[in-house]
Amino acid sequence: MKQALGCMLLALAALVGCASSPQPAPPAAMIDTPACAALIGSGDLGVVVERAKGSLQVINTTSRQILGSIDGFGDLSHASVVYGRDGATAYVFGRDGALSKVNLLTRKTDARVQQSGNSIGGAISQDGSLVAAQNYQPGGIKVFDAKTLALVADIPAEFAPGKLSRVVGLADLPGKRFIYSLFDAGEIWIADLSLPGAPKLTKFKDVGRQPYDALLTPNGRHYIAGLFGEDGLGVIDLWATEPKVTRILGGYGRGQEPLPVFKMPHLRGWAVAGRFAYLPAIGRHEVLVVDTESWSEVARIPVAGQPVFVIARPDGRQVWVNFAVPDYNRVQVIDTQSRQIVKTLEPGRAVLHMEFTPRGEAVWISSRDDNRVSVIATDSFETQAVLSIDAPSGIFFSSRANRMGF
């Protein structure tokens, strides 16, 4: 009651201040409470996953502070988050197949469904009305109403009679469509939910062995699937009159003995800087540079270990890389003009995730085994803040709400 009254008084003061002299900012302790949610914008919010506790820490990217926690999400060992268009609604996909709808302003879970037995992520439609989950068990995708989490469509990834595939690389496309890869089938499907009760499927066969993840270019034109079962990738030009899969970088490791893969690389839309894509090489200590106009390899950049995430700063000037064991305490920075490593950092043990602030002046890095998140300036590489968070993994900022493929 006192908090609510305080919020009303602050709002009143703000209105009076518009008509008279500027008012001093209210104490941060009063603003950063769920009761004052109406006074907080969502554009500089985000969450950090606490994988061991099954909880989220809500953070502010401007003040570099933890605002509070939200608990009760179950298994978050491979969790991911997408945002509604308001930037305040987050959809949390747990590894145990649970899907939760969370309000970052009130820091409450508004809805939750146990939609599968094993899930590794999801996507939200262009208009924000549908949320889709990609599932390992059972294989396929399920699509839900974004407001209520009521089931809209259940689409099994049955590629042969009685055979279901694990689904990876799910991304949103314009027009209530979702694109995804079938790891066990070597196929890519597009599900059109324009008529939710009657989803229309487009299937691309023989895309390569074991597509393990995929990215959508920032303009939504190209879908790129990495292949775990062979050297190479598959690309679909979604703007083509008759889209088809084109194989690229075939045999990029030919003549070399591949290294054991300790952690699967991740492909996301943020690996594209300008006209070039920067991609982790499977079983190599290299980042591959690919021209997105010709889809030919133009360079290889030697790096400290097996790359996991290769992400471009929003302006495309830098690419940051983290690694699998035994090099997972390191992060390297590539200058995209010279294609050289310009900085090697050691922010902590077990770096699992990196996330740029919306305009890229800083990057947040989770170090699971040191129970901390470091905020590092991308110009000076100085550490601006360190937040104590229990076994942090994924970091997801609300700015993702305005980006395709996130």
Predicted local confidence at residue 231, as pLDDT: 81
pTM, to two decimals? 0.89
Q: Is position 179 within any domain?
A: no
Q: Is position 63 within any domain?
A: no
Strand order in the sheet with 130-137: 118-124, 130-137, 140-145, 151-156
Helix residue ranges, H only, 257-333: none
Domain extent at residue 29:
1-39
Is residue 368 packed enough to be buried (19+ CB in 10 Å), middle (13-18) or exposed (0-12)? buried
Q: Is position 14 within any domain?
A: yes
Predicted local confidence at residue 40, as pLDDT: 80
Amino acid type, 190: I
What are the residue ranges in the chain where pLDDT is below 50? 1-6, 8-32, 255
Q: How far is it, in rounded angstroms, from Cα 332 to Cα 319?
A: 8
Number of domains the chain is built from: 1
Q: Is position 3 within any domain?
A: yes
Q: Is position 15 within any domain?
A: yes
Q: Is position 205 within any domain?
A: no
Q: Is position 288 within any domain?
A: no
Predicted local confidence at residue 262, as pLDDT: 63
Residue 160: in which H helix or E strand, if any?
strand 158-160
Q: Is position 10 within any domain?
A: yes
Predicted local confidence at residue 269, as pLDDT: 75
